[in-house]
Structure 1
Amino acid sequence: MKLHPTRAKKNEKSKKVGLKRALLNPSSEHGGLYAPVKLPKISDKKWRELSKLSYEKLALYIISLFKFNIDKNVFKKAVKRYKNFDKPASPVEFKKLGKNLYINELYHGPTRAFKDMALQPFGEILSSLAQEKNKNYLIMCATSGDTGPATLKTFANAKNIKVVCLYPANGTSEVQRLQMVCMKGDNLKTIGIKGDFDDAQRALKTLLASENFKAQLAKNKLSLSAANSVNFGRILFQIIYHAYAYARLLKNGKLARGESFDIIVPSGNFGNALGAYYAKKMGAKIGKIKIVSNANNILTELFNTGIYDLRGKKLLQTISPAMDILISSNIERLLFDKFGAVRTKELMDKLSKDKFYKLDKNELKALKAEFEADFCTDSKCESYIKEWMDKGVAIDPHTATCFKMADSSRINVITSTAHWVKFAPSMLKACQQSADSEKEGLNTLASKLNESAPSSIEELFDAKILHPDVIEQNEIEDKILEWIKK
């Protein structure tokens, strides 16, 4: 299968590429991304057979359908990374919460967030390709809190790889920050920036497109790639856990023949929801994909009105920081899939120039056929956290937003994106409790739940800060080049 540029001029013949090229060079023409035009389809009969497979075997089968130009043994080795999860044979935990309500827990990996589901195998693949080409790569990522730790962890001490992680200095939880600034690895560099996630993501995209920056890297025998979900390699693995949710419902006999279910996704950069959309196109019986935002509800506005409007918008800090995003990169892949590369370029150019675009009536109707959207305030989110904590169930502040769209009249699957231990202060506040320190609060909540806090999280509070830099945005390029020359 070839991947297509998401942006094109009218009558322009776009250059299609294989996955190998898209992984190592994720930016396409006109500042766009790469995406599939047509996805492989799985029959109902085959889904029944797949429901009996382990997560690893299901993943390898789905990947095989794409017929990408990467040796299958590389993918086999990549999914072996799930041995680093709490339950190696079952990296995802699928549970029932109530009548017609299920939760797909994706946070049982080494950094306690759903980003591990894609980034652990992604790291193995990218490192393998770099070694195969006998080239050295600088992998960059921008993070709102979870991508950073997962990227640093998967590439720590990897051969032929250096990593730079950009994070908003005051825009993550304290645990997320500590995971990044304390991460060990001679090939890693974490940089805090004065700004928000959108600033970090903008800096990343600018550097990915900068010929001067690439030339400077080339002088140091480095090529450039990215670990954010601008890279289709990330999206490939995000399709799988939504397919797994469908397979589990089939295996447990919860869906009648032909019956569909809805998926609820807490969404900021939209990669998680896009994975669900692609799983649906591959034949998973997903009805509506419900997008839940926090107070930064730009996606709610898009899916309800067809308007994407950044004018006058200011990013708000909430208790769900990984969703504090106004510029959702993966919306571009959805626009491409629905309306084609020419229209996508028109819309993205208008957003860049005017900070605004508006879909026409038929385009909005096409989105509403697949998606519903709402947003959840911090106070409402806190009420959901307390409600479930009183039932002995800990739900982190991102996952908690999903309960705003839960509907008991049909089967709903909540996509749970992070372990509560990464957000102890917000959890304590929601439960109307206090503690003298975050570490103490962590243990207070764990005791209430009859759990033990993961040692990897507890140890952070006494770990040495290895990456103290916090810089202005205009210093980012110089700081990176200074580091790689050491």
Structure 2
Amino acid sequence: MLLVDSRNPQQTKSFTQALLEPSSPTGGLFSFQNVPNLDFQAYLHLDYTQLAQALFGVLSLDVAPAILQEALKRYEGFSDIAPLKHLSPTLYVQELLHGPTLAFKDMALQPFGILLSQLAQQRQEKYLILVATSGDTGPASLASFASLPNTYVICFYPASGTSLIQALQMQTMDAPNLKVFGIKGNFDDAQSTLKVLLKDTGFKAILQKQGFLLSVANSINIGRIVFQIIYHVWGYLELVRHHALHYGQPLNILVPSGNFGNALGAFYAKQMGLPIAKIGIVSNANNVLEEWIKTGVYDIRQRSLLKTYAPAMDILKSSNVERLLYALLGSQRTLECMQALEQEQIYTLQPQELQILQKHFESFSCDDESCLKSILETYQKYGYLVDPHTATALHAYQQLQTDLPCVVVSTASWSKFAQTTLLGLQGVASTDDRQALEILATQGITPPQRVKELLNRPKIHTEVLETASVASQIQVWLEKH
């Protein structure tokens, strides 16, 4: 299958080409031109790895079976793979947090790193992989690529925009092919810096002189998105296998949304025939997506990014919305909308276009007060502790007006957000996550062992940069490698 540029379908790449070199001269994103319609009932007997192999096959992705098999072995290091917790008659939580960095990003990034490294070795090429993170993509990318041949990773994160545990997961990573920079600014600044570098021909030329090609690990890379389709399919099939629903019965999915990659995976699964009634997009106070899905207006003119208790969702420009626009409205309309957003910071869907969008999606938001309340109520009602992002989706579940089964996508361990967890459970404000973990431990609430170990590791990466100096500092680091 050839992937097409969302803004110019004449620009095409194979899957492996787009994975290695995801940038496009138009600024668009390589996307599926179409996806096959499947009867997923035929996959009920498959385990998770077999399901992944089957979906790569039906999508006709040009990855050698041996390389894919090697990449999928990474799931053997997970403590569990996308299990479902049944909380009430129609409510299920899909836990995507059992990988090495305790966040859903591991589900895609663990195999992704092996794929990219193996392909680079085949081609005898070296890749510089850029990562901009709001908190979870960075640690997951670093954990995936650590010490992998032919790959070098530069990760930048908002220096004051992540939790302590997220920051430590990046700052303490010790591998010769990894470098981490904090930046002064928010995630949108980090992501904008990444996109500027991808389009900077001068920067690419300098890298080429040093023997590097340029790639990214963010979900603007279609290689990430493919792995995010799989767990949505798996979740539905698991419910059928456990007789929670019969095949063909629709369900709703609620996704705490930031850059829209997780939700896009669910959308592609729906397009391929998975019986999803609606995909619920949940925002925090930065509720651009809620407004867009309800009104058709994507407007960031008067908005400034708000810091919330769900920091991975603190985003105003959700990159993967572009792929959705392409799938629903085509390349010309996508180009018009993206240019309007870049130039005027607003675009508006036509009424018929909004109807198409709302056929697949509904939207909700959750402010900080409701987030804390959701953490407490979930713990009191079910004895189940969730992170603040998952809490926003559980808050949205209370607003659903349907009796259909619902899967809430759980995106991270509560232990990565201990201050917010403590505040939600006990109304106690702490000075930092370390103190919050200590207080929670006195109540019998203890984090996973890997979090305890993380608190005692030395920091290796402590630099904080202005965004304008990121490119030059990358070059300085690469000269040493």
TM-score in same-fold range (> 0.5): yes
Alignment partners' CA distance in 1, 2:228 and 2:448 = 25
Q: 1:392 aligns with which of 377, 383, 393?
A: 383
Match of 1:127 among 109, 113, 117: 117
TM-score by length of 1: 0.95
Q: What's the offset of the Cα at 1:312?
A: 1.6
Q: Does 1:466 align with 2:460?
A: yes
Q: Distance in 2 between matches of 1:26 and 1:257?
A: 36
Select 1:200's aligned residue among 190, 197, 209: 190
Uncovered stretches (5+) of structure 2, i.e. residues with no partner: none
In the alignment, is residue 4 of structure 1 matched against residue 15 of structure 2? no
| 1:404 to 2:395 alignment | yes
Match of 1:441 in 2: 436
Answer yes or no: is 1:41 the counterpart of 2:37.
yes
Q: Which one of 469, 472, 475 corresponds to residue 478 of structure 1?
A: 472
1:239 and 2:229 matched: yes
| SS of aligned partner of 2:455 | helix
Q: 1:23 aligns with which of 19, 24, 43?
A: 19
> Given the alignment of the two structures, is residue 320 of structure 1 paired with residue 310 of structure 2, yes or no?
yes
Contact 1:307 1:356 in 2 (8 A): yes
- AA aligned opposite 1:484: L
Contact 2:19 2:221 in 1 (8 A): yes
SS in 2 for 1:30: coil
Are the counterparts in 2 of residues 136 and 222 from structure 1 also a CA contact under 8 Å?
A: yes
Q: 2:240 corresponds to which residue?
A: 250
Distance change (3 Å), C-alpha of 1:211 and 1:436: closer
2:4/2:32 contact within 8 Å kept: yes
Q: 2:321 maps to which residue?
A: 331
Distance 2:442 2:126 in 1: 46
One-letter code of the match for 2:17?
A: R
What is the root-mean-square deviation of aligned Cα atoms in Å?
A: 1.4
Contact 2:437 2:446 in 1 (8 A): no
Structure 2 Cα separation of the partners of residues 379 and 348 of structure 1: 33
Range 456-465 or range 328-337, more displaced = 456-465
The SS at the match of 1:154 is helix
Instruction: Say if 2:163 and 2:417, in contact at 8 Å, map to a contact too.
Output: yes
* One-letter identity of the residue aligned with 2:169: Q
Tell me the equivalent position of 1:76: 69
1:59 aligned residue: 52
Instruction: Indicate how the Cα distance of structure 1 residues 343 and 29 shifts in structure 2: closer, same or farther if over 3 A, else same.
Output: farther
Quote the residue 2:299 is aligned against: 309
Which of 128, 134, 142 aligns to 1:138? It is: 128
* Partners of 1:303 and 1:242 in 2: CA distance: 21
1:413-469 deviation digits (Å, cap 9, x = unpaired): 000000000000000011124667633532543564x56422221122222110111
Looking at structure 2, the residues matched to 446 and 32 of structure 1 have their Cα atoms a distance apart, in angstroms, of 47
Mapped to 2, the partners of 1:324 and 1:377 lie a distance apart of 12
Which residue identity lines up with residue 205 of structure 2 in the other structure?
Answer: A
- Contact 1:7–1:29 (CA under 8 A) maintained in structure 2: no
The aligned amino acid for 1:464 is P
1:85 counterpart = 2:78: yes
Partner of 1:95, secondary structure, is strand
Is the contact between residue 210 and residue 479 of structure 2 (CA under 8 Å) also seen in structure 1? yes
Aligned match for 2:263, one of 273, 297, 300: 273
Provide closer, same or farther for how the CA distance between residues 212 and 48 of structure 1 changes in structure 2, counting only shifts above 3 A: same
Q: Distance in 2 between matches of 1:354 and 1:441?
A: 43
Matching residue's letter, 1:20: T
The CA deviation string for residues 366-387 of structure 1, in whole angstroms up to 9 with x for no partner, is 0001000010001001001011
Aligned residue runs from structure 1 range 276-291, under 5 A:
276-291=266-281
CA contact (8 A) 1:165 1:191 kept: yes
Query: In the aligned structure 2, how far is the partner of 1:440 from the partner of 1:311?
Result: 39
* Structure 1 partner of 2:407: 413
Tell me if the contact between 2:132 and 2:156 (Cα under 8 Å) persists in the aligned partners: yes
Give the CA deviation at 1:152.
0.4
Q: How does 1:83-232 map to 2 (within 5 A)?
A: 83-87=76-80, 91-232=81-222
Q: CA deviation at 1:405?
A: 2.4
CA distance in 1, matches of 2:410, 2:186: 24
Cα deviation for residue 247 of structure 1 reads 0.4
Distance 1:53 1:447 in 2: 43
- The CA distance in 2 between the partners of 1:375 and 1:175, in whole Å, is 25
Q: Does the CA contact (< 8 Å) of 1:101 and 1:414 recur in 2? A: yes
Worse-superposed segment, 13-22 or 103-112: 13-22
CA displacement, residues 213-264 of structure 1 (integer Å, 9 cap, x when unaligned): 1111111101000000000000000000000111011111222353200000
Letter aligned with residue 400 of structure 1? A
Runs of 4+ in 1 over 6 A off after TM superposition: none
In structure 1, what is the Cα distance between the partners aligned to 2:302 and 2:204?
Answer: 34
Work out the CA distance in 1 between the residues paired with 2:222 and 2:22.
Answer: 7
Q: Equivalent residue of 2:129, what SS?
A: strand
Deviation at 1:308, TM superposition (A): 0.6
- 2:249 pairs, out of 231, 239, 259, with 259
CA distance in 1, matches of 2:431, 2:158: 26
The count of aligned residue pairs is: 475
Query: Percent identity among equivalent residues?
Result: 45
TM-score by length of 2: 0.96
Distance 2:299 2:34 in 1: 30
1:29-68 deviation line (CA, Å, top 9, x unaligned): 410010011112211xxx2332232111111111111111
Letter in 1 for 2:282: V
Q: Which amino acid aligns with 2:424?
A: A
Deviation digits for residues 393-414 of structure 1, max 9, x if unmatched?
A: 1110000001232146220000
CA contact (8 A) 2:22 2:216 kept: yes
